[in-house]
Every structure is written in C-alpha cells, then in structure tokens.
A and B are shown apart, each in its own frame.
Chain A
C-alpha cells in the first residue's frame, strides 16, 4: 500500500491504454485499479446487446463517451431471424440519455432503431458527433431529419446497408447552414433523391469532409460539382455511374477526379457505363480500397481499371472479374490484403461466368499480403484449397461459399475435408472461417485440432453427426462465435460442452437436431447462459421434448433472460 500510486497518476497512465482487451485486463488487477479504470473508461464495445443491461453498464462506467452495440445474430443478414426478434436500441438510448449527457458516439449494428430513438438521440446529447448505423432498420428519413437538424456538432453520419423507410430526400435540407463539422457522410443505402443543391452546399461548407458515400440516385453529371467542392476527399462513393456519353461530362469528371489528390477509397459504381471508367484513372495510383461489388461490368473493363491501382489493398468485386481478371490482379496489385468476390447471379443453377477456384489460387500465389478472403464460386477442389493454404499461411479470414450446398471436389468427387483441413493447419493465425461444400465430421476434427486462434466459425449443410460439433466445441480454444445451420448436430455434443458456451459470445443453431428437452436442460443448469428457442410453429412445450427446435440462440449474459421477446421466442428458465 505504501507503494501504490495516487489515483491521478494511475488515471494518467491509463489514459494511454485504449484497446478493450487491455482495459479489461487492467481492470482486474486489483480493486483500486478497477475503480480508476471504470471511471476513466470512455469507450465501450458490447458485442451482444443482451449480454448486459443498460443499467449494469451505466453503473460500472459512469463516464462513457462512445458506445458500440450489436444486436441481432449474424444470420439475421440472411433472413434467418424473423422480424420482431428484438435488438431494439430504444431502452439503451433512454437510459443513456439520463446517464451520459456528454455521449458523443454511437455505433450500432443489426439493431432496430426507431425514429423515436433517433429523435431522442438528437435531443439528449449536446455534443453528439458520430452516428453509425450498420445493417440497422426500423427508422425513416424523418428520424434522419431530426439528427440533421439537432446535432450541432455532427461529424459522422453513416447509414451503411441499413434499411430505411425512405419517404424523400428532403431530410438532408435539415442540416442547418451553421453545420460545418461533417467529416463523414454515408447515405449509400437510401433510395430517394436528396436535394442536390442542398447536398452541394453541405459538402461545400464542410472543409473537413473526408468521406462521402452517395446513393444511387445521384446522377453522374452531378458528381464533378460535388468533387470540386471537396477536393480533400479521401473516400468517395459515387452514385449511379452512367450517363449518355458526352465528352464534356467526361472531361469534367476526369478533371474533378484528377483534382482529388487524396482519394484512397472508391465505391458505388451502380449501373456502370464502361466508357466513363477512364475518368477515374487519374486517381487510381493512390487508391487502396476499391468496391466494385455493384458494378456489373465485364472482365476486360474490370481488368483495365484494377491494373491501374498498383497500391490496391482491398478489392470487392463481382464474379464478372473471372479467373483472367484475378490473374491480372495477382500480377499488378502486390499489396493486396483483402479480396471479396460476390456472385452476380447467385440463384442461377449453372454459373454464368468463368470464375473458378483457379482465380483464388492465382491471387493467393501472387499477393503475399493477402490475408482476408470472401469468395463465392461454383466449384472447388481439395488441391486448390491446399495450394491456397500453403501459399498464404498468413491468412486470417477465410470465407468460402460454394454456391450449391454439399458440392464435392469436382475432380476427385471427394468431400472438401482435406482442403479446409489444410487451411486450418497451415494458417495458424486464422480468426474467421466459413465453410461450404460437402463436408464430413472429419473437417471438424481438423478444425478442432488445428484452429486454435479461430474466433468465428460459420457452418452450413455440413457434418455427419454430433461428433463434428464436439470437435469444434472441445478443440477451438479461442472460439467466440459459432453459427450453424442445417447440420445434423444434436444434443450430445452441445450438452457435453455446455461449459464451453460460457466462454463464447454466442451460438446459433438452426435446422439442426437439438431437442427441446436438451435446450430446457441447458437452460436449467446454466444460469449464466440465455438459451433462447425460436419456433414459429407454436409452443415447443406443446410437443414432446424429443422434438427438435427450429432455431436455437445461446449466449452468455449477466443480465438474465431478456424481457422483450416476441411470441415465437422462448427462454429456457434457470432452476435456482
């Protein structure tokens, strides 16, 4: 005790410690460090909004300025979570409005945000600066108008991929003339036309604007004016990238792009007319991030564009790029770190493009820094996966989606166990993995044995029985999130590894073979888990306990069962 630092010193030292992990670590050193830390924490990330309650957070951290919350499970992105499930942010806003008048930043993902919530935010936090709504829903442009009108110091308004009830673009005019603080504006998910003159004026009076992601409704001929008002832009998302070919529009556009010397990231490119693509060439050498995943242009045009971007680090593109385009990418973009290839026609039985496993192999060979992959394709071989694994032992995120479930290695007709096994064996730092293709329990054996740093695993249409799940739960030491659909995993593995579930953020299982009885048992015995059964067919207890549940979502929580469940969700009660 005689040697302990005064609190002010501790506080000063702690002010240099920023990451959640480090902050959490120092908070458990001793009681006084816990106290100093909790009073000095300004930023918090809550990966599951139901893992804790607003009251608990506020009690522990009285001085937060920045809150990040995630709501629905990841599979909600693919329509597997019915509407009304939950994730409503309003209780959080209401509690924080009282407790954190100085709140500056709110970052929400997969949450239901109503206009009421947005209005409350805009009125409650005088110094509110950052609002990021990622894949959220439940609000309209009325709520946005409230934010625009009332948040005097707004710096970031980012609506990425949210579902907005878009009544009109009029809300943008609610930004007062005195608003000059915008740094980032992302309205790419909106459908309506915003008032272009209001937009131009807004862009023109915000000298710090770095990020501007327009929506599709902004026509190409409006872009040069916007760019001229913001030559300092670092990240740009175009609107529709098409117009009749008119030389004056083209040269205006090219000139505007040439003038933006800071540009590093490009996106948008809806409805691309290839003739206009050369307008961006002047900016290409500085581009590190390129999102062409809505650009329905063919491989030759894609190649021309991409090969100009020698410093490219991230590329999102449609499968129109084909193997040839990926070869060109591998040859030109040696700094590439992340590649995402999306399917242009995901519901087609046969492929429409010449994109195969070979493209991915090429990139893995040619790009030494490649560590993050999301790849949709229609065929794969174990040999290709083994090559990729050996080429890129630095892989950290590997998500492969072979479009047809249970597809075999098309050369050997074997399952793809060996291929994915090679991935986990060679890529020792792998944090995230998504599987596809025909897979037996063996792949899970490999994963359990080798994937020691794996934090998130997504599984669909795979495995033979409980053993697969058991391998993963017992072997993957770093596992935090596990999501499974349509696999024959049942009670045994789940119950045998019940304790593991408390070390994870969440487990999702849908269309599997977990019985209602097992869910009940788990709920009874594990007080720190919320075991939620989702069944739209009616009460699960109206059927024998041996019947399987439709969907199961298990997550650890210190807040106990939630109280906002819809009629089709049941929490299994803990017996005291």
Chain B
C-alpha cells in the first residue's frame, strides 16, 4: 500500500511524518510483530483523535514518543475494556448511528448499545503508536484521554437535568468515564492497540512518565513548549509581521526575536506544499531533520518499503541516506528571487533572506553549484 500523502501545512511539525509513514498500517492489520505493544492492563483506548492533533505535536514531542514507547502507563480508573473486534465495533456503530439520526425518538437501544463503545482510554501508548499514523488508529466517538479521572459530581448530574431525555444514561456513562479535563486530549486509538502518542498534550513534551498526569492538570507548566497548530488563533499575516518587527527590535537588544516566520516548502513530485516556521529551528541540521521527516512519506513510496511497524524508523534513515546521498537537495529562494543551495550562509542570514524552500532532485539543481550541506 502506498503511503498516504499529506498536504498539511505545518509549522514544521515533524509529527506529520508519523501520519505519513504509517500509511500501510491500518487498524486491522495488528499482527503482532514483536514490536507491537500489548495492552497489559486489559485497557485500551477506543477514543478517537484526529490526526491533525497528532500533527500538532511538536518535534520534541515526537522524539519523546520514542522514549515513552517503552513506558507502562496507567489506565483510566473505571474504564472498561473496549471492543477488540473491529467488526463488532462497526456493527454497533452502524446501529447506533441510524437510530440517533432522527432525534425526535432517540432510541434507547441505540444509545445503550453504544455505551460499550464509550469506553475510555486506557492509556497505553505503545510502540506501535509511534510507528503508526494516527488515522488508522482512530476509533469512533467516545473520546478520552488517559487522564486521571477527577470525579466530578456535576458531570453526572448535568446530563440528567439538561438532557431532556435525549441523552440518557449513555451520556452519563460517557461522561463519567471520560477524563475530567480531557477536553481534547485526543487519543486516536485502534481498539486493539493502545493509545497513541497523540494523547500526550502537545505542551507536555517532556519525556517523563508523569507526562500524562501533568497534562491532566493544567496548572503544571510543561517543561518544553510545543506549538499547537493554529493556536493561539492569530492570522499568519500578523504572526509574520510581528516576527519581523520584534526581530528588528531585538537586533538592538541582541536577542533572538520570538514570533513565527512561516515559509512554504515544496518538493519536486509531491502534491502538497507545506509551511514551516523557520523560527523553530536554530541550525541547518534541525531544519534538515524536520524536512526529512515531513517529506519522508513521498520518498518512502519511492523506496518501495512496505508494511512492517518498524518501517518508519527504517525509512527515515533511508531517507537520510537519500538526502545525503544527494538524490535530493534543499534549495531556497532568496529575497532577490534567486535560487540558492541551502547551507552556504550563516543561519541568521539565511532565515532573514529565505522566502521559500524547495526540495529538488539533485539532477535539477546542478546549476546551483555543488556546495550543498553535507
């Protein structure tokens, strides 16, 4: 199966690569290779998370995921074992949804039938999570995070008082099982597989095992800052303007300005552009790694690697080889409109003059000179 193609514009979040490279994994093909983590506590997460959440995780987070892969996680107290059989889940899903479509007569049956699906997260985030893309891992509806459950009386009451019969017990179950502050701690998980990395709050990117606990509690400041896509909600125009403004000001103070600097990155042969925020990197190496990960899905297709969970790791290094083996070179368009090879000028000068990036086939880049970075 060819890897899925991503067209997401991100601020250089390397997590995009997670989604990309996982293309061939789907929920049903959980044959254990030795790398699959099993759900030892009998809990698994059938909550759903969108891959976009995943993609919002920072690069740091992605690195941390690999560490976390080996840690044992606490399941949510009171959470039930979700369905393991995807067919059953599908059946239930269909049944449930039909009945709820016409709200005047909410079907108790339908609702109750779904209650078993409303389980919530166990939060084992496994090795397989880091290997697989999020989309495959998703299951429907009842979200939950692997958070410590803060029992909240109000939650169980409110459905009754306000539900007006539309959302009976099922909602209660849902609510009670859900984590208190789950908000959207998306956990895209396949029923058979433990929750994903995406469950980690993007902000809690330290690799500690307290990660999930701390993220539950908003008062704890994450150790490392990760940028969530599109948050805070500020238009690109304003972000870029402020970036240049503060940079100008800070040049006087001598410190590196904050703010974002989004530029478009394209790759020969790839159908989608991405956007990266150059300010999240401080060296060419970081930029190069991030781009490798972001665009690995396209070259993986060309490598022709398939199927195993460990594929992503393999292919990343393969991609690195590809890039360093000069099949592709990284070029940029500068303020004067000239295309140059990346790496010739000091980093600061580069980010000040770079208008857009392009990953070109080396054969196309010959005219740019051969002093790329290696």
Contact = CB atoms under 8 A, between A and B. Distances in A.
B248 A492 contact: no
B353 to A, nearest CB: 13
Contacts of A347: 225, 227, 258-260
A348 interface: yes
Contacts of B288: none
A512 B184 contact: yes
30 contacts: A75-B230, A163-B237, A294-B242, A343-B232, A401-B232, A464-B182, A466-B171, A467-B162, A486-B228, A488-B178, A488-B183, A491-B140, A492-B141, A497-B103, A498-B103, A513-B49, A513-B186, A514-B48, A515-B48, A537-B19, A538-B133, A543-B26, A543-B136, A544-B27, A544-B28, A546-B48, A547-B190, A548-B48, A548-B141, A567-B7
Interface residues of A, number: 99
B32 interface: no
Contacts of B302: none
B76 to A, nearest CB: 13
Contacts of A434: 233
A405 interface: yes
B66 interface: no
Interface residues of B, number: 113
A467 B154 CA distance: 13
A296 B138 contact: no
A465 B231 contact: no
Interface in B70-122: 86, 89-90, 93-94, 96-98, 100-103, 106, 111, 114, 117
Interface stretch (B270-278, B304-312, B359-367): B270-278
Nearest to A374: B233
Interface in A337-357: 342-349
A408 interface: yes
B166 interface: yes
B271 A567 contact: yes
Interface string B40-51: 000000111111
A83 interface: yes
Contacts of B174: 465-467
A495 B97 contact: yes
B299 interface: no
A61 to B, nearest CB: 32
A29 B360 CA distance: 62
Contacts of A465: 142-143, 171, 174-175, 178
B273 A511 contact: no
A407 B4 contact: no
Given A270-B241, A442-B154, A496-B103, A511 B53 contact: yes
A474 B222 CA distance: 37
Interface in A465-490: 465-467, 470-471, 474, 485-488, 490
B31 interface: no
B148 interface: no
Interface of B: 1, 3-11, 19-20, 22-23, 26-28, 46-53, 55-56, 86, 89-90, 93-94, 96-98, 100-103, 106, 111, 114, 117, 133-144, 152, 154-155, 158-159, 162-163, 166-167, 170-171, 174-175, 178, 180-186, 188, 190-191, 203, 218-219, 221-222, 225, 227-239, 241-242, 245-246, 248-249, 258-260, 262, 271-273, 275, 337
A165 B142 CA distance: 44
Given A511-B53, A513-B49, A84 B272 contact: yes
Nearest to B227: A347
Given A466-B171, A512-B184, A546 B86 contact: yes
Interface stretch (A94-102, A363-371, A455-463): A455-463
A495 B101 contact: yes
A538 B233 contact: no
B140 to A, nearest CB: 3
- Among B8, B144, B185, which residue has the most Cβ atoms of chain A within 10 A? B8
Contacts of A486: 53, 183-184, 186, 228
Contacts of B26: 542-544
